Copies of this chain bind each other. A is one copy, B any other.
């Protein structure tokens, strides 16, 4: 499992194959099947191993502080293992670490005074963000070259003015500057936490 994590960190999860992983371990591909049912089982284990790296202990003053703390911890793990979102998404069933983690999250909300129904809604609102990542529509953190920006504006400015306006704003030379994914993640999380506080009081 450790070798698989190392391999994923180095070459990406896409390039994990039974043969390559076996080679990494100085063993034949078929030997892996003694320890793992099949490849899906291996990837499930990988996902659970990475979730297990998230510390679930909190010392927050209230549910908001605790939730913020645990989600930031999850984001830290995701940033260290960029393949983690893909592995978690491919997971067929939650493993023990996932169960432990979700129990901690639900516990924070329940202890914080959320009803079961409110907690259930909260989980759906948070979605994957509670594990430290979001599925963005498309990557807007890449920066445009000045000439690329010019051709973009002239080619698509007529048909898609709003998209071009936004694309140009999210540039070094633009009004917003290049997109900071971490800052956006934090902003969105605070947005949701504030909403949840209001949800609880209604």
Contacts and interface: CB of A to CB of B under 8 A. Distances in A.
Contacts of A165: 106, 110, 116
Looking at A119, A125, A126, the one whose CB has the most chain B CB atoms below 10 A away is: A125
A195 interface: yes
Nearest to A169: B116
A150 interface: no
A127 B188 CA distance: 10
* Interface secondary structure of A, over-half rule: helix
A15 to B, nearest CB: 15
Number of copies of this protein chain within its complex: 2
Interface residues on A, range: 35 or more
A125 B188 contact: yes
B107 A162 contact: yes
B166 A119 contact: yes
Contacts of A195: 191-192, 194-195
B175 A121 contact: no
Interface string A126-158: 111011001111100000000000000000100
A176 B124 contact: no
